[in-house]
Chain A
Amino acid sequence: MKNKKTHGGLGQLTIPIIALALLVLFNVVRDLIFIYYFKDPNYVSFFSIEFTRNNLDNTVLAGNLISIINGASELAILAMGMTLVTAACGGQDISVGAAAAIAGSVFVKVLKSSSSINGGTVAIAFVSACIVAMLFGSFNGTLVAVFKIQPMIATLILYTCGRSIAYWINGGATPTVNSPIITAIGSFIPGIPIPTPVLIVIAVSLLFKLIFKFTSLELFTQSVGINGSAARLNGINSTFIKLLSFIILGVCVAFSGTIGVSRLGLINHETLLLDIEMDTILAVAIGGNSLGGGKFKIGGSIIGAYVIQMLTITLYAMKVSSTDVKAYKAIVIVLLVVLGSPVVKAKFEKVLSYLGLNRQSISTKGAQ
């Protein structure tokens, strides 16, 4: 009994993992149909991964799976921060896309105004982007934590004007920055076959892991999100916790904006990470986190981000028109969210327990 976790039959990560598994299964079936039924000799498996040499003569990994984990990087990073905001405030920040456009613009602005692009200036540019994103984060956070405005309403302000602000920073055209360092950030570092954005996602998730290990952020955030009144009476400064969640999200925004800009060495304030806020919120939801705040699992949100990206890439691989992709996505997401709803979960657990699959032994009372 000692170390056994005795939560219900279904953990929080069940739904995102099932979703991922279903997508994999779907593609396996599709592969088999093409290979054995149509006997298409030119067909390349959805899962094939191969080494290629890119135009800068580096050996790099390529394939759909790489495209998925690479393409989902900005989304995964934002989802981590969004999970924290959701847990603490019971609401979501819908301005992350606009804020990332600002952060990206600042990044480009600093690079353009420095005489040369080298490791130092890129670092300065990133730190500047970080500071600006954290400032906008604390603006949102103040509205939510101090003035008690609902998060969606509070962040609607930046959502509306954020891309205009991004425009003011650099002016109208789409400024470009060309440098091997920028390419290395957005694409591949010479000698490393894994896309750099993926490495950045790993770094950011390790950062979160460290924060959770060396601070009480997780416990305090959950307490504030579940029962703010009780948290206050236990001495937790909930204003600070909420504000902090927005500032941390600001750092995530800076990472995402920088990756987004570096991928192409170009900032388009109108399209950079457009509509990503909704995908981010979805990733959090698919990850099994309650959008009403409280308990959370960052890992769930990351898987959620990959689920969304895998869905998109699968549809692209099937040549579904990208205007239709959104409709298909909506269908799948409705299914996922319903599958993860407490009603379905309860029914499912009941079925499990009838089948005798429930992990707990039905025994006498616990700790007499």
Chain B
Amino acid sequence: MENCLLKMRHIEKRFPGVLALNNVDFTLRKGEIHALMGENGAGKSTLIKILTGVYQMDAGEITVEDTAVSIRSPQDAQNKGISTVYQEITLCPNLTVAENMFIGREGGNWVRHTEDEKRADEILKLLGIPARSTQQLGSCSLAVQQMVAIARAVDQNCKVLILDEPTSSLDDKEVKMLFDLMRDLKSKGVGIIFVTHFLEQVYEVSDRITVLRNGELVGEYLVEDLPQVELVSKMIGKELDELSTLKESDEEDISKKEVLYEAKSLSSSEAEPFDFTIHKGEVNGFTGLLGSGRSESVRAIFGADKVTGGNVTIKGKNAKITRPIDAMKHGIGYLSEDRKRDGIIAELSVRENIMLALQVMNGFFKPISRSESEAFADEYIKVLNIKTASRETPVGSLSGGNQQKVILARWLLTHPDYLILDEPTRGIDVGTKLEIQKLVLKLAEEGVSVTFISSEVEEMLRTCSRLIVMRDRHIVGELTGKDLNQAQVMKTIAGGEA
């Protein structure tokens, strides 16, 4: 194995109450794209954090180009040629793009503005990233922020590049651009560790796959030797249900049911006026490219942004929703797109996070008793299969998918009539995705209306009975019945004759 770049042997890592990694091996060769797969909590993120010096391993050894190394800090990892782009964006939104690309790198802590900005612009141009070096990072879309993070890593002459869920907020075009870049880097001898939940993407770009499950190594495979179905079953440790059977094909005509929520020319500071209706027990979805206004529209429904106009009726009665609390009192729940910023209260426990929305609805002077909240938490930890050391564990220490389940539990506990789920499956593993999709359909059966948004059109086709397509901040079409297929959706998104 003369082209072996990185070897990790017998890696072990413990957290309070959890053995996160147990005797895990991982090998990366020069010029290969190596997918690291596993469900949430399988230990992927932990392994990567050890490799990048964020965590220190409890046992095991790491060699880079046949030299044993110990990686003490992220800076140390960078110095050894290991760069990373994390699942959640970890840059500073209040600094400029250039500052984000160069801050904290060797050459001192001084930002040499003009020089750095020039260089940043060159890199951005080379990678085709639509951003200016002097722009504040926070003013860029999530996708562009992600790409800036990649650009930062690419610019560090790294031998090992780790991409942790790099594509979860990118649209198809941007993904293609990234893959081109990855292949380019690969041909230059860079070893890339690719962590993603998009199975198709794994097969599109990877050479090799390593699968982890419950903190243990399942195996390392060449892509050709591992069909997709087998990969999934290795990840979850059992045979997978046929996904397409999720939704009953011959459902009753939902539009005959009573209208739950209706908005006429609703608009907010962020959303153009739009009309929208949802029936009792209906699952519909907003789709469109990033920035098409789909998230902004549902935020307007919930009163998350400043509502500027429109008429809303709920169950046939006029309703005035200007703040989130108004929406909650009308039985609406909202799971936001940005889990870290708008969802979890990281330092509070799983229990407190679950009870939060219900407590707010109960009011300031009617606190839920400790024992009651414990019962609620235990119930939903069980129902949603939330993996946590205990109900008092701070939610921030849970994996992304489990955090998402906690927020779902928070809204389910309020027993909403109408639940808005904006990207509930983003950045979480395939098993949990399936669980969430099943849950959505189960809720609908129980009469809850759901609006479901996902970047994966396929996922929405499986769950929604109606798709609202948006382009350039306007609704451009509604698809139901026969029209609910990938080709038709793409056509509508693209617009015109395409």
Q: Are A365 and B387 in contact (CB under 8 A)?
A: yes
Q: Are B365 and A215 in contact (CB under 8 A)?
A: yes
Q: How many residues of A contact B (CB 8 A)?
A: 40
Q: Give A286-311 as 1s and 0s: 1 = Cβ < 8 Å from B's Cβ atoms.
A: 00000000110000000000000000
Assembly CA distance A227 to B338 (angstroms): 12
Chain A 218-253 residues near chain B, CB threshold 8 A: 219-220, 222-223, 226-227, 229-237
Q: Are B348 and A223 in contact (CB under 8 A)?
A: yes
Shortest CB–CB separation between residue B238 and chain A, in angstroms?
14
Q: Are B382 and A234 in contact (CB under 8 A)?
A: no
Assembly CA distance A213 to B360 (angstroms): 15
What chain B residues lie within 8 Å of A120 (beta carbons)? none
The 5 nearest A-B residue pairs measured at CB: A235-B325, A235-B360, A360-B16, A6-B390, A366-B389
Contact of A219 among B214, B356, B363 (CB under 8 A): B356
Closest to A217 in B: B364
What chain B residues lie within 8 Å of A6 (beta carbons)? 16-17, 389-390, 392-393
What chain B residues lie within 8 Å of A220 (beta carbons)? 359-360, 364
The reply to whether the CB of B487 lies closer than 8 angstroms to some CB of chain A is: no
Q: Are A367 and B365 in contact (CB under 8 A)?
A: no
- Among A6, A7, A226, A358: residue with most chain B CB under 10 A: A6
Shortest CB–CB separation between residue A73 and chain B, in angstroms?
29
Q: Give B54-74 as 1s and 0s: 1 = Cβ < 8 Å from A's Cβ atoms.
A: 000000000000000000000
Q: Give B97-109 as 1s and 0s: 1 = Cβ < 8 Å from A's Cβ atoms.
A: 0000000000000
Assembly CA distance A223 to B347 (angstroms): 9
Chain A 310-368 residues near chain B, CB threshold 8 A: 353, 358, 360-368
Assembly CA distance A101 to B53 (angstroms): 52
Assembly CA distance A220 to B363 (angstroms): 11
Assembly CA distance A231 to B324 (angstroms): 10
Tell whether A235 pairs with B345 under 8 Å between CB atoms, given A220-B364, A360-B17, A366-B390.
no
Q: Are B348 and A364 in contact (CB under 8 A)?
A: no
Q: Are B19 and A362 in contact (CB under 8 A)?
A: yes
Assembly CA distance A295 to B346 (angstroms): 10
Main secondary structure, interface of A, reads loop
Shortest CB–CB separation between residue B344 and chain A, in angstroms?
7
Assembly CA distance A166 to B390 (angstroms): 52
Name A residues whose Cβ lies closer than 8 Å to a Cβ of B. 1, 4-9, 213-217, 219-220, 222-223, 226-227, 229-237, 294-295, 353, 358, 360-368
User: Can you spell out 25 A-B residue pairs with CB atoms less than 8 angstroms apart?
Assistant: A4-B390, A5-B390, A9-B16, A215-B365, A216-B359, A219-B348, A219-B352, A219-B355, A219-B356, A219-B359, A222-B347, A222-B348, A223-B348, A226-B347, A226-B348, A227-B344, A229-B341, A229-B342, A233-B302, A233-B304, A234-B356, A365-B18, A366-B18, A367-B382, A367-B387
Assembly CA distance A323 to B359 (angstroms): 51
What chain A residues lie within 8 Å of B347 (beta carbons)? 222, 226, 294-295
What chain B residues lie within 8 Å of A4 (beta carbons)? 390
Tell whether A214 pairs with B325 under 8 Å between CB atoms, given A4-B390, A366-B390.
no
Closest to A224 in B: B345
Assembly CA distance A362 to B22 (angstroms): 12
What chain A residues lie within 8 Å of B362 (beta carbons)? 216
